[in-house]
Amino acid sequence: QAYRYRKVSVSAKATYIRSMPGKNGKKLARVYLGTGVERVAVCDNGWSKVTYEKKGKKGTEKIRDLESG
């Protein structure tokens, strides 16, 4: 079953979008509470792959830091 893209928003006070799904991924952008992102996939380790438009950068973010929007 294919994953459906979903608009979500950051539920943490502040967090980072990273280049890889994990704390070792390079920090691409800092995002704040309520920032909207588009979840495009959920990784096996519990992180979500998201698209966030800021200077065209894309990265990954922990799913626990996101909520349905």
**One digit per residue, pLDDT tens: the chain, 69 residues?**
566 778 888 888 998 888 888 888 888 888 899 988 888 888 888 888 888 776 556 665 554 444 433
What is the reported pTM?
Answer: 0.69
- 47 φψ region: left (φ > 0), alpha (ψ -120 to 50), beta (else): beta
pLDDT at 33 (0 to 100):
92
Count other Cβ atoms within 10 Å, centred on residue 9.
Answer: 14
Contact 25, 59 (CB under 8 A): yes
